[in-house]
C-alpha cells in the first residue's frame, strides 16, 4: 500500500488542475498496477495568498507499492503538470503503508496546514524523518522548487488527521474543449440539485439563480457536486451529464474532501488573533454596521471582558448576507466566524446569541403627547406648555429583523472549506441559505 500526495500543479494559464492529475494517475494505477481505495481532496489554509486558487492538495490511497506509485506519479506529473506558469511549483510525496498509520508529526503537519503557513525547509525535514519518497519541480522562472511538497505532505496526513469528511463528484470536460465556454444544462442542474437536497448542498444558489457547481475559471472541471453521501453526489452528477444540453463528459471521479467542514476555524479571543488564520470568536457589537465604498459592510466587535476590538466585514460578493449584517445593532451579542487578517475578520457566518431589543428615547408629554425638551444638563425633560416633567430618557422596544441562531453567506459566496448550515451540528438554531 501507499499514499500519494500531490500539490501545486494548478496553473491559471494552461488550465491544468491537480484533481485532474490525481484522476488520471488513479486510472493509470488501476490499469497497470493495482487498485485505488480512495481519492482525497484537501483544502488547505484559504488565507495563504501565494497559492493557486482554491488551495487544494490531493491524496491517492492505493494498493500499489510505494516505489511503483512514486515512479508512476512522477511520470504523470512530468507529462501533465510541468509548464511555463511561473506560479507553479509542483510537489510529490509518497508514503508507504496504510493512510491510517502515518506518524503523528505528519498528522500535525496536516492540521496546521489549515491555519498556518508551513515553510518548505521544515516540511522537507519532516518528509526525510518519516523516510518518504519525494520530488519537487519548478516551472521556468519559479524561484522555489517543489513548494507543492508542503501541501502534498498535508494530503498524505489528512486521512488520519481529520474526522469530518464530505464528498465531491467531479465531472471533467474533454481536454481539447478546455478554454471554451462550458455547456451545462442549467434546468437539469436545478432539478438534480433539488432531488438530493440537503444531502447534496451548494450545487446551486436558488435565490441568485446560479449554478455554483460550474466553475468560472479555466480548467478541465465541467462541474463538481458536493454533499454528505457518495451515492447522492454521483446521482446528481449523472443526471446533469445525461442531459442532451450538457457537453460530453470525458471522465468523472469521486473525492473524499474536507470541504464544507469548517476545519480551518479554531476558537479565539479578540485581542489575541493571529494573521491569516480562521477563527470563531465571541463579542458584542460596539460600532454599528456601515456600508463603505464597493458595498462592503463593516462593524466593530468588542470583547466585553477585555475591551479589545476587531473589525468584521461582509464583502460585497457575499450579496444578501449583508442584509443580516446591516440589521445588527450596538449591544448585540454574537459569535462570528471567518479568516482574520490585518485586524479584520472576513465573515463567513455568525450566530446571534442575544439581541439588543431596546432603545432610549426622549419621553413624550403625558398631557399633550408631544416630545418633551431637555431641561438642561442632567435636569431631565419637561414640556413647557403643560409644565410636566420626566427624570430621563425612557426605554422603548425595537422590532428586530434578526432571530437567535446562525446566519451564513449564500452558496455562491461560500469558501470551499466553510461548513454550510444545512449540514447540521451547530449549537443554536440555523437559518440556512440555499
Ligand atoms: Zn405637553
Distance 4 CA to ligand 1 centre (A): 82
CA 127 to chain CA mean position, Å: 27
- Taking the C-alpha atoms of residue 266 and residue 192, their distance in angstroms, rounded to an integer, is 34
Distance 374 CA to ligand 1 centre (A): 13
Distance 122 CA to ligand 1 centre (A): 77
Distance 296 CA to ligand 1 centre (A): 44
Which helix (H) or strand (E) segment holds residue 280: the answer is strand 277-291
**pLDDT for 54:** 61
Distance 386 CA to ligand 1 centre (A): 4
Nine cell digits for residue 282: 465571541
C-alpha torsion angle, residues 105, 72, 117, 97 (rounded to 10): -10
- Beta strand extents in 99-161 (DSSP E only): 133-136
Of 239, 142, 251, the closest CA to residue 192 belongs to 239
Nine cell digits for residue 325: 449584517
Distance 387 CA to ligand 1 centre (A): 7
User: Are the C-beta atoms of 313 and 294 separated by less than 8 Å?
Assistant: no
Integer CA distances (angstroms), 344 to 98, 194, 271, 297, 408, in order: 41, 36, 11, 12, 18
Distance 391 CA to ligand 1 centre (A): 15
Quote the Cα angle for 15-19-23, to 5°: 115
Integer CA distances (angstroms), 53 to 8, 111, 194, 422, in order: 10, 20, 28, 25
For each of the domains in the chain, give its residue range(s) and CATH number, in order of start.
2-161 (3.30.70.2200), 166-257 (3.90.600.20), 265-357+399-431 (2.40.50.1010), 358-397 (no CATH)
Q: What is the pLDDT along the chain (434 residues), one digit of tens a residue?
A: 999 999 876 655 455 678 888 999 999 999 987 999 999 999 998 777 554 456 789 999 999 999 999 999 999 888 875 555 566 788 999 999 999 999 999 999 999 999 988 999 999 999 999 999 999 987 776 777 888 899 999 999 999 999 999 999 999 999 888 889 999 999 999 999 999 999 999 999 999 999 999 998 778 899 999 999 999 999 999 999 999 999 999 999 999 999 999 999 999 999 999 999 999 999 999 999 999 999 999 999 999 999 999 999 999 999 999 999 999 999 999 999 999 998 999 999 999 999 999 999 999 999 999 999 998 888 899 999 999 999 999 999 999 999 999 999 999 999 999 999 999 999 999 999 99
Distance 255 CA to ligand 1 centre (A): 73
Integer CA distances (angstroms), 104 to 5, 109, 117, in order: 17, 9, 19
- Beta strand extents in 130-207 (DSSP E only): 133-136, 166-173, 200-201
**pLDDT for 144:** 74
DSSP state of 243: S
Nine cell digits for residue 308: 479589545
User: Are the C-beta atoms of 406 and 350 separated by less than 8 Å?
Assistant: yes
Q: b or e along 214-253 (b: 16 or more beta carbons within 10 Å of the residue's beta carbon)?
A: bbeebbbbbbbbbbbeeebbbbbbebbbebeebbebbebb
Predicted TM-score of the model (pTM): 0.92
**pLDDT for 231:** 98
Reduced to 3 states (helix: H, G, I; strand: E, B; else coil), residue 44 is: coil
Distance 383 CA to ligand 1 centre (A): 5
Amino acid at each position: 500500500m501507499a499514499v500519494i500526495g500531490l500539490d501545486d500543479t494548478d496553473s491559471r494559464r494552461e488550465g491544468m488542475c491537480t484533481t485532474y492529475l490525481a484522476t488520471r494517475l488513479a486510472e493509470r494505477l488501476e490499469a497497470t498496477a493495482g487498485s485505488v481505495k480512495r481519492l482525497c481532496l484537501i483544502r488547505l489554509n484559504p488565507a495563504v495568498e501565494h497559492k493557486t486558487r482554491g488551495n487544494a492538495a490531493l491524496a491517492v490511497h492505493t494498493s500499489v507499492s510505494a516505489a511503483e506509485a512514486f515512479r508512476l506519479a512522477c511520470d504523470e506529473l512530468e507529462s501533465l503538470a510541468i509548464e511555463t506558469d511561473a506560479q507553479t511549483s509542483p510537489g510529490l510525496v509518497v508514503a508507504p503503508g496504510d493512510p491510517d498509520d502515518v506518524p503523528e508529526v505528519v498528522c500535525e503537519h496536516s492540521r496546521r496546514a489549515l491555519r498556518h503557513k508551513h515553510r518548505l525547509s521544515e516540511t522537507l525535514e519532516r518528509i526525510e524523518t518519516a523516510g518518504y519518497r519525494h520530488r519537487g519541480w519548478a516551472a521556468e522562472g519559479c524561484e522555489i522548487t517543489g513548494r507543492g511538497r508542503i501541501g502534498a505532505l498535508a494530503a498524505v496526513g489528512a486521512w488520519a488527521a481529520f474526522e469530518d469528511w464530505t464528498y465531491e463528484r467531479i465531472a471533467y470536460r474533454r481536454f481539447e474543449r478546455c478554454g471554451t465556454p462550458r455547456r451545462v444544462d442549467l434546468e437539469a442542474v436545478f432539478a438534480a440539485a433539488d432531488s438530493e437536497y440537503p444531502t447534496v448542498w451548494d450545487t446551486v444558489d436558488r435565490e441568485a439563480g446560479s449554478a455554483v457547481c460550474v466553475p468560472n475559471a479555466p480548467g478541465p472541471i465541467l462541474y463538481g457536486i458536493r454533499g454528505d453521501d457518495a451515492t447522492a453526489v454521483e446521482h446528481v452528477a449523472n443526471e446533469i451529464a445525461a442531459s442532451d444540453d450538457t457537453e460530453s463528459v470525458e471522465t468523472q471521479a469521486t473525492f473524499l474532501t474536507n470541504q464544507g467542514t469548517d476545519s480551518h476555524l479554531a476558537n479565539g479571543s479578540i485581542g489575541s488573533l493571529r494573521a491569516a488564520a480562521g477563527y470563531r470568536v465571541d463579542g458584542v457589537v460596539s460600532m454599528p454596521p456601515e456600508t463603505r465604498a464597493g458595498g462592503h459592510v463593516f462593524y466593530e466587535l468588542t470583547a466585553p471582558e477585555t475591551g479589545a476590538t476587531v473589525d468584521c466585514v461582509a464583502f460585497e460578493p457575499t450579496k444578501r448576507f449583508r442584509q443580516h449584517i446591516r440589521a445588527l445593532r450596538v449591544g448585540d451579542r454574537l459569535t462570528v466566524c471567518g479568516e482574520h487578517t490585518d485586524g479584520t475578520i472576513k465573515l463567513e457566518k455568525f450566530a446571534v446569541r442575544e439581541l439588543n431589543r431596546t432603545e432610549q428615547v426622549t419621553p413624550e408629554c403625558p398631557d399633550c403627547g408631544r416630545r418633551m425638551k431637555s431641561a438642561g444638563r442632567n435636569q431631565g425633560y419637561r414640556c413647557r406648555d403643560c409644565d410636566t416633567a420626566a427624570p430621563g430618557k425612557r426605554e422603548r422596544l425595537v422590532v428586530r429583523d434578526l432571530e437567535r441562531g446562525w446566519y451564513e453567506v449564500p452558496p455562491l459566496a461560500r469558501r470551499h472549506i466553510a461548513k454550510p448550515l444545512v449540514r447540521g451540528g451547530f449549537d443554536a438554531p440555523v437559518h440556512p441559505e440555499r
